Amino acid sequence: MGLSPAEKVAQILPVLEARYGAVTTELHYENPYQLAVAVVLSAQCTDVRVNQTTPAFFARFPDFASLAAATPEQVLPFIRSISYPNSKAQRLVQLARTVVEKYSGELPKDPAELQNLPGIGRKSANVIASVLWEAPVIAVDTHVFRVSRRLGLARGNTPEKVEQELSSIIPPAYLGRAHHWLILFGRYHCTARRPKCDECPFTDLCDAYQNALLRSPRSSG
């Protein structure tokens, strides 16, 4: 009989911790405002591209107040290289105005309140809360979703269901770090296409590998 998801995670997390250590988001930021903006910009966009864009953005709009006073048309030139720049310009201004008007310019710390802000969904709220305040939540992005299902840590078919499953088997103190470990493992190792199964330390535990779904085809030559 195979291992349960809880038994698997007990073996997998120490390996990921040894590999990646005390990592955090790859987005560059210096304060809650900058992280919130970077997270909004990162939707369907690489962290590398966001990090190339934000220095000029923050020089022009250094805080929620200055961004709230701007129009989407004034924001747009600073984020043209980002995916969906028009909609993100609108969301950023709406976000800033809401934070200024409703929260006196300070991000709320409660993930439930965060996810109700313009441009901040459940995943983004969990990222912000776990990175800034070490809230015991795990954000499920495309990498976490893929790796968790491949390894058999979760079987849910939506990010919300996978989040619930992971939250039930990962100790609360590890949730935020596990998010980053799974992202890095998915981004650079267990990739969507051509995962590096030959280098993977978890093939004995991996449902997908054991089911021969991800094994690289052998060369016939």
| Backbone CA torsion sign across 182, 26, 74, 32 | positive
47 has catalytic annotation:
no
> d(Cα 189, Cα 209) in Å, to the nearest integer?
14
Q: Distance of CA 5 to CAs 76, 137, 175, 206, Å?
A: 45, 18, 15, 11
141 has catalytic annotation:
yes
Q: Which of 47, 123, 161, 204 is catalytic?
A: 123
CB atoms within 10 A of CB 188: 11
Q: Using only the alpha carbons of the chain, give its radius of gyration.
A: 19
Q: Which of 8, 141, 196, 198 is catalytic?
A: 141
> d(Cα 19, Cα 220) in Å, to the nearest integer?
34
> Which residues are tagged catalytic?
123, 141
